[in-house]
Amino acid sequence: MSSNELQVAPRWERRPDDRPTEILDAATTLFGEQGFTRTRLEDVAKRAGVSKGTLYLYFDSKESLFREMIRRNLVSVVVEAEARFDLHAGSTRDAITDLVRAWWRVLGTKETACMYKLVGAEISNFPGLGQFYFDEVIARTRRLIAKIVARGVAAGELRPVVNDYAVRGLPSLVIHAINHQRFFSPFDTAPMEDEKIIEGILDLYFNGVLAAPAHGAKG
C-alpha cells in the first residue's frame, strides 16, 4: 500500500453522517426566512454546502424535508415532554410549570418562532403537510396536556374545566407570547422580559383573572 493510500482525510472534511443535520439546519433557516413556497431545494443545498444530488440522497422532496424538519425541531420536543411527564412524581402545578419553561427554553428561539409563523401562513395551502403537522404536533401536544390536567383533577389539584379548553389554551398562550417576544418586542412601548412573561402565563393559567370565581360558575 502506498503512502498516499495511507493518508487520512483532511480534518475539515465533513462526514456523511453530518450532512442530514447540515441540510436540516439550512432548511430551517430558509423556510423561516423565505417561506415554504419560495424556498427551493437548490437553495437549501447551497446553504448547506452540498450539491442538490447529495441532498436528494437524504430527502426526495421539499415536503419530506419539511416533515423531517418538523420532526427534529418540534415533534422531538413533544416526545421529550412526554418522557419527562411519565417520570414526574411531583405535583400537577410543577408538571405544568416544567412544561411551559421547557417549551420556552427550546421553542423560544427566533428560528423556531419563524416555523410557527410559517405554519400559520402557508401550511393550509398544503393539506397533506397540514394534516401531518396537526397529527404530530398539535394533537400530540393536546393529548399530553390532557393527561396532565386529568391527573390534576383526579388528585384534587385542579378544578374540572369548562369543555376542556384549558388543554388547548395553554400552548396557545405560550406560542403567542413567543411570537410577540421574537417579532414585535422591538415595537412594544412597554416590553417585558421573558421570565416575567413566563410567570404571567403560569399565573393566568393557574389562577384565572376573577378575584373569587362563583362556585360552579360557567365560563
pLDDT 10s digits, 143-184 = 999 999 999 999 999 988 778 888 999 999 999 999 999 889
Burial class (CB within 10 angstroms; exposed 0-12, middle 13-18, buried 19+) of 35: middle
Structural domains in the chain?
A: 10-60 (1.10.10.60), 72-207 (1.10.357)
At 38, is the secondary structure helix, strand, or coil? coil
Based on its alpha-carbon atoms, the radius of gyration of the chain, rounded to whole angstroms, reads 22
As given in the structure block, the three cell numbers for residue 84 are 419527562
Is the confidence at residue 5, as pLDDT, over 70? no
Q: Catalogue the E-assigned strands of 36-135.
A: none
Res. 219 pLDDT band, cuts 50 70 90:
very low
CB-hemisphere CA count at 13 Å for 177? 26
At 112, the pLDDT band (50, 70, 90 cuts) reads confident
Place of cell 433557516: 29
Q: From CA 140, how far away is CA 115, in angstroms rounded?
A: 18
Strands (E), 39-82: none
pTM of the model: 0.81
How does pLDDT run across 22-62, given as a tens digit for each residue? 999 999 889 888 889 999 999 999 999 999 999 999 999 99
